[in-house]
Structure 1
Amino acid sequence: MTDLLLDVMIRTEIESGNPQAGLKSEHTITLEVETGKLRKTKLELGKSDFGIFEASPFKFQNGFPEPVSKLRGDGTITLSVTGTTATPALIFPSIDYRFDLVIDPSKGSVLVSGNHDAYPSYSISIGKPDNQVYEFKHENLGLGGVWRALHGDGDDVKIENIKSSFPALEIVPQMKKDETKPRPKRLKAGGSSGGGGNPFGFGGISGGSRGISVGGGGCRSTHWEGNTVVCTMA
């Protein structure tokens, strides 16, 4: 059985018409719907106008720790994601965000909380890139405004339980191990019966003291339990 997976995509981007416009980062987190576990992550960094990747050589200015996810008893999945993207110019502070999501895959609903800088633009999509569940677009701030918007720890914009939706997933409950086994049919021993009177649809049942046999090919195997023959269906 193929695992049911769900992608969560977080993008930071500078809008066109502004210096260094374009994608700054795209962080894709793939979750296992049945377990809530993290399957994989993918990080794409944009390039500056100088053709340099949006990443600083200083470790403290870049950071994408492994996201934390958990399946709750009601079938929802909690996901916490933190990201830091530095500019190649190094003179500007880094782009910071933290998002906490409560995702209900079967209902196609999500609660978004967290915080981020006031620059650049931020978006979250679930399932597909065009299924946006959160979006923040930056203003045209100028260099001084950008500096102020990026300064700090990503707490300029605070989000609390913003409810949104995405196309729900059809989740089929997995059968337990014992439910995958054929269920036995029980027939009382003794006497005889024609096929017409047999509620299990066998061609015929004949019996004596321990000589019962089941005709018609309806049973894969049979065995005795006391005075009852157990028929395991094919």
Structure 2
Amino acid sequence: GADEAGLDTILISMPDAPVSDKLSQTLLVAVANEQLPPRAEVVSLYCGFEAGTIDSVSCIRLDEHLVRLTARDLRKLETKVPLETLKTVVDLAVDIGREGREGKPVGTIFVVGDARNVMTSSEPLGFDPVKGYSRAERNIQDQRVREAVKEIAPLDGAIIVSSDGTVQAACRYLNATAANVTLSKGLGARHWAAAAITKKTKAVAVTVSETNGTVRIFHRGEVLLRVEPFRRAMKWKDFDNDSNPSDQHAS
């Protein structure tokens, strides 16, 4: 087997997932474990047509392959937060993880949706930099607002975003117990807070790791998606048959 041959192995549990999803997850784990550099070119051999038979080969550039998310990925979250709002927040988080601020790495947390319950489950840490602005001046669909959010991202506390993309508040301390939450070793207080608030409410949390810029998406107390930081901007790849055009929410 691979161990006897001296090859590194990565075990994933995705029995019903398509081969492409299994391959992407394996590559993500390999990058996270520093088994592969983020800009590596990988030759992949796999069973593309017949189970148990290696019959396909692909040459993959990681900096192009792993920065793509599909609308289908976010629909797995089964949330009433509109897909466009989620995509905008994730894009913003990836920018922060990749660029940092003034050359320094930045860690932050966004809590999206179910804003009323999130606000009652949190408290201000002090000065709120978005207080006093109109809703239009706080909507992240506006490029100027997104740039302003990047400026406040280094501040302590969570940034609360309503389902319509309005930044409700910033610099919030999240009051949610992590007693019934289980996360992987190595994740810090920000990730535990994200898991806890999404366990307590119907919100989705998006974190940026200050250590390496990795973006994680939490829902129902668990990490459901992870985006590794790359030098290129993330690309969204949409499929016409992902959903009925009348769908307005990620579900």
> TM-score per shorter chain, which class?
under 0.3
The structure with the largest helix share of the pair is: 2
TM-score normalised by the chain length of structure 1: 0.21
TM-score (norm 2): 0.21
